[in-house]
């Protein structure tokens, strides 16, 4: 094509034809980028969905929810550690596990496996009361407490609600008592030349302050409160154990004993592990663990923080805002 013909062709296309071609190329590139972006977001969401599904499967397996194929089994609920709110041995988690265990059709018996030094009397009482309620609601399903290394104080409080209590000969059992402890730094402050300035509204608001002298009336009041709590503990044990307890004043003194001594005192009924009780007492050797652990997504939120949520929100925002600014 000669120069005159090329000029004629360009004039036929009109002015700015180069810009039109560039605009078409840019739009085609933008469309390809948008398509790639959509597919990228799609695969990210697909991966996220598979990831969540896998986590849910894992959580279900860890809770025993997918292991309930047998018609008859022994349901196991663990109570490990200090009994307090927001802990693995909190009343919420233990009670939820017990409820799930009792209501399942395949449960022939429930074993509450205890390894605890005690803890909050309120949390222990919640579990004790729920065991009594569940035993009345499901009278055909027995509940046995099995003490591992330690079933003391609040741990034994909970065990006392069971139909029967088993332990090992070397287990530590008992400690039926209540305590309140602390320190006094009054003389230490005086030696250091430190002046304690405590302002309160209410004459007893600063009671048992470790940097102030202990008043006799404060000590008397605190001892009275502890006595009331101790009385509640004793009553719960007596109701749970009934005539199996021996007449021995030391039982409620806060003392703890070995498994052998505990059996002689009527604090436990026999020796055996959770597996032994499932096999020989319940008659269903297969055990399914209904213990409630921390919620999977709560644990992820605590460890990962808000970062994962931000990633998900950004992904969803990009999905809804394709082509925007």
For residue 129, give the CATH number of its domain. 3.90.226.10
278 near 147, Cβ under 8 Å? Answer: no
Give the CB-side neighbour count of residue 71, counting CA atoms within 13 A.
0
Please check whether residue 168 lies inside any domain of the structure. Answer: yes
Q: At 146, list the tokens.
A: 């099995």
pLDDT for residue 308 is more than 60: no
pLDDT for residue 77 is more than 90: yes
Residue 83 DSSP symbol = B
**Mean pLDDT of the chain, nearest integer:** 81
Using alpha carbons, select from 97, 78, 235 the residue that is nearest to residue 148.
78
pLDDT at 75: 97
> What percent of the chain has a predicted confidence (pLDDT) above 90?
51
List CB contacts of 62: < 8 A, sequence separation 6 or more.
293
- Look at 270 and 58; give whichever has higher pLDDT: 270
CA distance 26 to 12: 23
Tens digit of each residue's pLDDT (9 = 90 or more) over 181-216: 877 777 787 788 887 778 888 888 878 878 777 788
Please check whether residue 7 lies inside any domain of the structure. Answer: no
- Look at 319 and 71; give whichever has higher pLDDT: 71
Please check whether residue 17 lies inside any domain of the structure. Answer: no
Please check whether residue 174 lies inside any domain of the structure. Answer: yes
pLDDT at 302: 47
pLDDT at 322: 35
Please check whether residue 145 lies inside any domain of the structure. Answer: yes
Please check whether residue 153 lies inside any domain of the structure. Answer: yes
Q: For tokens 């799609």, what's the residue?
A: 42
- Look at 245 and 57; give whichever has higher pLDDT: 245
Please check whether residue 230 lies inside any domain of the structure. Answer: yes
- Number of structural domains (the chain) is 1
Label residue 321 by pLDDT band (50, 70, 90): very low
In this structure, what is the dihedral angle of CA atoms 233, 235, 237, 242, given to the nearest 10 degrees?
A: 180
Q: Ranked by mean pLDDT, which of 66-70, 93-97, 307-311 comes out on top?
A: 93-97
Domain span at residue 147 reads 65-289
Q: At 294, list the tokens.
A: 């921390």
CA distance 53 to 316: 19
Label residue 306 by pLDDT band (50, 70, 90): very low
pLDDT for residue 250 is more than 50: yes
Q: Where are the beta strands (DSSP E) in 30-141?
A: 73-80, 107-116
Rounded mean pLDDT, 126-142: 97
- Look at 286 and 222; give whichever has higher pLDDT: 286
pLDDT for residue 289 is more than 80: yes
Rounded mean pLDDT, 13-36: 70
Label residue 262 by pLDDT band (50, 70, 90): very high
pLDDT at 325: 36
170 near 257, Cβ under 8 Å? Answer: no
- Round the CA-based radius of gyration of the chain to a whole number and report it: 34
Phi-psi region of 224 (alpha: psi -120 to 50; beta: other; left: phi over 0): alpha
Rounded mean pLDDT, 65-71: 54
Please check whether residue 44 lies inside any domain of the structure. Answer: no
Positive or negative CA dihedral for 146, 152, 154, 160? positive
- Look at 88 and 4; give whichever has higher pLDDT: 88
Tens digit of each residue's pLDDT (9 = 90 or more) over 93-102: 999 999 999 9
């Amino acid at each position: 094509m000669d120069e005159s013909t090329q000029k004629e062709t360009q004039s036929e296309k009109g002015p700015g034809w180069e810009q039109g071609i560039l605009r078409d190329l840019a739009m085609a590139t933008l469309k390809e980028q948008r398509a790639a972006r959509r597919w990228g977001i799609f695969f990210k969401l697909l991966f996220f969905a598979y990831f969540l599904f896998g986590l849910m499967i894992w959580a279900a397996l860890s809770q025993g929810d997918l292991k309930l194929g047998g018609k008859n089994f022994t349901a196991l609920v663990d109570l490990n550690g200090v009994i307090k709110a927001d802990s693995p041995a909190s009343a919420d988690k233990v009670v939820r596990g017990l409820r799930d265990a009792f209501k399942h059709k395949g449960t022939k018996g429930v074993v509450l496996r205890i390894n605890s030094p005690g803890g909050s009397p309120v949390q222990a009482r919640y579990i004790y009361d729920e065991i009594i309620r569940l035993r009345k609601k499901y009278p055909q399903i027995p509940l046995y407490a099995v003490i591992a290394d330690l079933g003391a104080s609040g741990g034994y409080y909970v065990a006392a609600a069971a139909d029967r209590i088993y332990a090992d000969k070397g287990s530590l059992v008992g400690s039926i008592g209540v305590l309140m402890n602390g320190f006094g730094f009054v003389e230490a402050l005086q030696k250091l030349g430190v002046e304690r300035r405590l302002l309160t509204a209410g004459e007893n608001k600063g009671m048992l302050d470790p940097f102030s002298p202990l008043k006799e009336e404060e000590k008397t009041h605190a001892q009275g409160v502890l006595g009331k709590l101790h009385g509640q503990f004793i009553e719960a044990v007596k109701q749970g154990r009934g005539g199996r307890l021996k007449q021995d004043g030391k039982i409620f003194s806060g003392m703890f004993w070995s498994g052998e001594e505990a059996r002689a005192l009527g604090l436990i009924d026999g020796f055996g592990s959770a597996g032994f009780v499932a096999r020989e007492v319940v008659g269903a050797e297969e055990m399914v663990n209904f213990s409630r652990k921390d919620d999977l997504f709560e644990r992820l939120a605590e460890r990962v923080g808000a970062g994962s949520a931000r990633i998900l929100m950004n992904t969803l925002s990009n999905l809804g805002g394709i082509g925007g600014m």
